[in-house]
Structure 1
């Protein structure tokens, strides 16, 4: 088979495209390398202070290597905010069982594993600025949880009665969500927990001026 022939202009264009691809690949490798170095460095810091801060590390998930590096450390807090994480694995609750604070804010999470209910020491949980459309029921089963940040999601489904019966909840931030009027009113009736809500939007059929 006769090989294709190219004129000088085509060769120059192909060479330029290859060069651009090589530069882009090199940049990606460099960025990935920096991210890995950052994660390892922060794991080493956590071995000293027991506070794992993996915020703004370009993570799509929690690498298995993190659990390995932390296997001999009794973590007190874990910050995974500002990444592009979509899913929290069940083993996080097993590996980090003693944490009192978990920050998952500013990610792309829409669900939480039921295993988080096994976090016996967890006092504060931040799931704000994510992709939740329903408030995860597991948050009402975490035995010591006192503060829950769930603001700035797209939450339309909340079991108000379950929140009311949560064992230790004292404060819940639900501002900047799309909570339906019926659920909104039920939440307003809860008096044993401080619940932060954005001003209720009046539905068209409720506006008597129309």
Structure 2
């Protein structure tokens, strides 16, 4: 009996620690979401020429590492770029949705941990939280795919590929950049597994209720 009490206290302590940590992560993710929103507003107001001017100032010592080596981003390279503001705004919107999905997952985990702290483990509410987390993982994978498509469209619409220096095209293989519908299956399978766990917990909560009513 004493051992069970010790285990229960340790479990409650762990749930409390994770509950507090989830709040910290929630705040950080919220700040990231706010940053994306502010960036989108600034980008929407700022003319394209000013955006390109800022990029030019940032590329004094900028370089990109590629399998072929380091490519220095110079004003000459940027001269081939005609930024597609609409596609960039779309990419920012998708990024915001991605961050909000993560925030939604953190909130659900926070609510679940809050119930665990109170000793409410096998409940229908907890199973719902976990079920929604599973759905969110699948949505996250789909959003990643959409962001990849948006990046490809942004590159194709913003860069005069045929006029780029040959070494730059070779390093980045820009000419072969295409729209692919590849989806990361890891979060999809994780989401399905979490959904199955949620259904198991829901069934377990029903069995617990029946047992309590019988007793």
* TM-score > 0.5 by shorter chain: no
Q: Quick one: higher RCO (CA 8 Å, sep 6+), 1 or 2?
A: 2
TM-score normalised to structure 1 length: 0.27
The TM-score with structure 2 as length reference comes to 0.26
Higher helix share: 2
